[in-house]
Chains A and B, each alone.
Chain A
Amino acid sequence: MNDALLSVSGLTKRYGGMTALNNLSFELHTGRIIGLLGPNGSGKTTLIKIICGLLQPTEGTVTVKGNPIGVESKKVISYLPDSTYLGKSMKVSEIIAYFRDFYADFDEMRAYDMLEKLGISANDRLKTMSKGTKEKVQLILVMSRRAGLYILDEPIAGVDPAARDYILSTIISNYDENASILIATHLISDVENMLDDVIFLQQGNIIRFSSVDEIRGVDGKSVDGLFREVFRC
C-alpha cells in the first residue's frame, strides 16, 4: 500500500516532436511545502496541469492518495492556475456559492472573512476589479478549502512587493496543517524561506529533488544560489 499523497510514475508529455516532460517519477508526502522550481518553459505548468486533469499524459501514471486522476483526486487538490479562471460577469457571492456547492471542504465563512478584510463585498462583480484584486479573490477561494494538496502555479509572478507579502502570508496562514503545498515559481528568493523541499525542473527533467535543509547543510548554499548556479545561462 502506497501512502504517498501524490505519486508520479514514468510521466511523459510530448507535443508532436517536442518533449515537454521526460519520464518523471517522484512522490510527495503530507505536511510539506514543496517548491517546483525552474525557468520559464521548463515544464512546471505542464506537470501541474496533468496532475489537475487538464492535460492528458502521453505516457505514465499519476495517482493522488492512490486514486487515478478523476473525481476523487479533484476532491483532494485545490488548484490555483497562473491565469484568472473566473467568469467575468459573476458576482463574488455567486462564485462563493459555486465553490460551496462543489467542494465539500470549502469554508465559506473563512472566505468571506478574508474578502471583508480586503474590502471586497459579496455584491461586487469581477469585471469591476483590477487584475491584482481578481488574483487575490482567486487565491482566497483556493486557500479557503481544507484540501489535501494545494497546487499553486506562479502565485506571485508579476505582483508588487506588498501584494507578494499578502499572498505568501495568506498561503501560510490558511493551508491545512496536514496538507502539502506544491508551489511552482521562478521567483525563488521570495519563497525559499517557506519551503521544506525543492524540485528543480529543467527542460522536462527533474535534475534535483531534495530538502532545503540538505541544500543549505550539504551544499552550503541558499536555494536561490544553487538555482542560479544550476541554471546559469
Chain B
Amino acid sequence: MKKVMMGTEAAARAAKLARVQVISAYPITPQTVIVENLADMIGRGELNANYMPVESEHSALASCIGASMAGARAFTASSSHGLAYMHEMLHYASGARVPIVMVNCNRALGPPWNLYCDHTDSLAQRDTGWIQYYCADAQDVLDAILIAYGVAERALLPIMINMDAFYLTHTSEVLDVPDQEKVDIFLPPYQPSTKLNVDDPKTFGNVCGADLFTSIKYKRHCDTLSLEKLWDETSAEFRGHFNRLHPTVEAYQTEEADVCVIGIGTGAGAMRLAVDRLREEGLKAGCVRLSMIRPFPLEGFKRAIANAKHMIVIDRDVSFGAEGIVAQEVKAGLFGHHGDAKLTGFIAGVGGNDLSADTIVPLVRQAISGNGTAVRAGKTYWAEVLP
C-alpha cells in the first residue's frame, strides 16, 4: 500500500508491523512523533502492546531490557541528549544480549543547544556494543526496523536504527507500506531460548572471574563481527518478500572511479547528485554510503570502493582533537588493504547546515586541488566556518 508519511511516522508504523510488545520511551525533539503515534495505536487497540511512559531515557532503555529478558519484543526511540543519558544502559543491553531495536534521531548535542542534524550523538556510542545502521530515506527507516528485529533476534544483539533529524524525521515521502500478513511471515514472534522464567530459574549478570569474563566478551566480539553477513542475508530475505534491498554498504558509480566520496545518512542523495555533476566535468567520481557503522562492514566497503585512490569523507560529526568519526572508521577500514590510498576528511552539514550537491562539489574540488574555503584543522577540514 502506498502512503505519504514522515520518517517518524514510518518508524512508528514499522514498530507496529513488527508487533512490538513493550514500548518504553521518554520524549525528545525530534523523536516525539514516533512515540505519540505508538501510544495512540495502543490506545485505539490497533497494537497489542504495553506502553511505559517512563520518567527518563535511562529508565526507557532499562525497562526495555527487563521486558526483553522476560521474553517480549521491546522497542524504544530517542535522540541526542536522550541517547547520551542512556549510555550506561546501552552497555548493559548489549552485554545482556537483548535484541532490542531502538530508533535514534540524529540530533546535535549541546551546548550550545541545537535541534538539528548531527551524527555525533550515535557515533559517540560506537563502543557500546550496539549494531548501528544509518538510514538514507523514510522507506529505509520502515524496512530497516523490520530487518533489524530479524537480525537482532538471531544474533541476540541490540540494534540502533539512526535517522537524520528533520531531514528524515520531519519530511514526508511516498512509502510502500508492507501488508501485515507478509510481515508476519518474514518476522515471526520472538521466542528466545533463554529468558527470565520461574519454571527454569537462572541468574543473569552475576559477578564472574577474569577468564570467563574474557571469553564472554570475545564471544560477543565474534558475534558482532558476523553481523555484516547476517544483515545482508536477512536483507536479501526481506527483498524476497518485499522486493527492496537495504545493504550494509551502498555504492554509486564506483566501479571505475578514481575519487570516492563517503558518508552516512541522508547526505547520500546529495553525494550522488554531486557525483553526477563531477562526472559531467570529466572527473571519475563515485560515492559510497555506509549504512552500517558497527560492525564496520569491511567486506562490503572494500568491494564498494573498488580501485578508487582518493577517498573524500564527509562527516556530520567530529571527534574533537582528532577528526571526523566516519573518516577514522574509513581509515581503519583502508589500513592494510589500500596502502596507497589518499583520504581527505571534511566536517560539513552540522547543526542544521544543509548538505547539498552545492556543498559537496566544491569540497571535492578542494580535496583534489588544495584550493577552497574549507578551513584546515589538524587532519580534517571544516566547511561553513564563520570568518
Are A and B subunits of one complex?
no
- Chain B interface residues (CB < 8 Å from chain A): none
- Chain A interface residues (CB < 8 Å from chain B): none
